């Protein structure tokens, strides 16, 4: 029967019991290989789809609440339990190192919505009226990319300032940004020790009071943005 994978964890004395008693989504069980285990559910029909992404995320969140877990992306599955054990054996080293890094930690997210960063400079737009259509097009594109580069620089500086506001409260961080209509969206991901979560929230509230941007705090989540071990499983990509 097909085994749907949710996360990798340490095969400790009570790990199997903690996994099997989670009351969320399909019934889970632990497939162990030495000191590692894979939290999986059974898809009776080999052609059946895995649970939808929302349920998958709820299961990983429930695992994260009871033990350190290396979260796996939605849709990874294996034909047999032996294949799961082989995967644990083959990639045991990276799994163990990453679990050590994530021990006692969760992920906090901060999102900033930066408005009005993509507009072209007014002087450049006005000058286009005197150009031929071809040159006006090239000038418009140049203006567009110049404005976007300026926005990227501004968002990068904002990310650095925000990271300083959380200094000493996180172990690692990652930054992403993208444009949505006329807004530049900045997302920061922080790997935070569980016992620092409330202090992190307090730092966010202080930042929120003085920031001109609209800010949103989320977490703690399983540390999706601080593990790449799932990329070691090409047969399930």
Neighbours of 208 (CB within 10 A): 15
Q: What is the pLDDT of residue 10?
A: 93
What is the rounded distance in angstroms from the CA atom of residue 142 to the CA atom of residue 124?
9
Q: If you average pLDDT over residues 18-26, what whole number do you get?
A: 84
Residue 28 contacts by C-beta under 8 Å, 6 or more apart in sequence?
6, 19, 20, 22, 39, 40, 41, 59
For 85-129, what is each residue's pLDDT tens digit?
999 999 999 999 999 999 999 999 999 987 655 444 444 444 445
Q: If you average pLDDT over residues 133-137, what whole number do you get?
A: 73
Q: What is the pLDDT of residue 172?
A: 93
pTM exceeds 0.85 for this model? no
Comparing CA positions, the residue from 207, 230, 8 lying closest to residue 188 is 207
Q: What is the pLDDT of residue 236?
A: 41
For 197-222, what is each residue's pLDDT tens digit?
999 999 999 999 988 888 999 999 99
SS3 194: helix
User: Could you tell me the CA-to-CA distances from 163 to 95, 184, 187 in Å, in that order?
Assistant: 28, 18, 11
For 40-82, what is each residue's pLDDT tens digit?
999 866 566 667 899 999 999 999 998 889 999 888 999 999 9
């Amino acid at each position: 029967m097909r085994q749907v994978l949710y996360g990798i964890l340490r095969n400790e004395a009570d790990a199997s019991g903690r996994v099997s008693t989670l009351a969320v989504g399909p019934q889970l069980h632990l497939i162990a290989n030495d000191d590692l285990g894979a939290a999986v559910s059974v898809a009776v029909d080999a052609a059946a789809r895995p649970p939808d992404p929302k349920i998958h995320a709820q299961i990983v969140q429930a695992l994260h609440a009871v033990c350190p877990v290396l979260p796996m992306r939605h849709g990874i599955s294996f034909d047999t339990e032996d294949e799961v054990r082989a995967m644990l054996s083959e990639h045991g080293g990276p799994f163990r190192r990453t679990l050590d890094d994530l021990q006692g930690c969760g992920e906090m997210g901060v999102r900033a919505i930066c408005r009005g960063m993509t507009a072209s400079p007014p002087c450049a737009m006005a000058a286009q009226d005197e150009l031929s259509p071809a040159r006006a097009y090239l000038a418009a594109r140049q203006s567009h990319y110049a404005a976007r580069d300026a926005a990227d620089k501004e968002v990068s500086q904002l990310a650095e300032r925000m990271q300083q506001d959380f200094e000493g409260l996180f172990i690692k961080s990652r930054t992403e940004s993208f444009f949505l209509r006329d807004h530049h969206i900045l997302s920061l991901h922080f790997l935070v020790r569980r016992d620092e979560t409330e202090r992190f929230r307090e730092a966010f509230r202080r930042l929120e009071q003085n920031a001109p941007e609209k800010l949103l705090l989320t977490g703690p989540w399983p540390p999706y943005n601080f593990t790449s071990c799932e990329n070691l499983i090409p047969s399930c990509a």
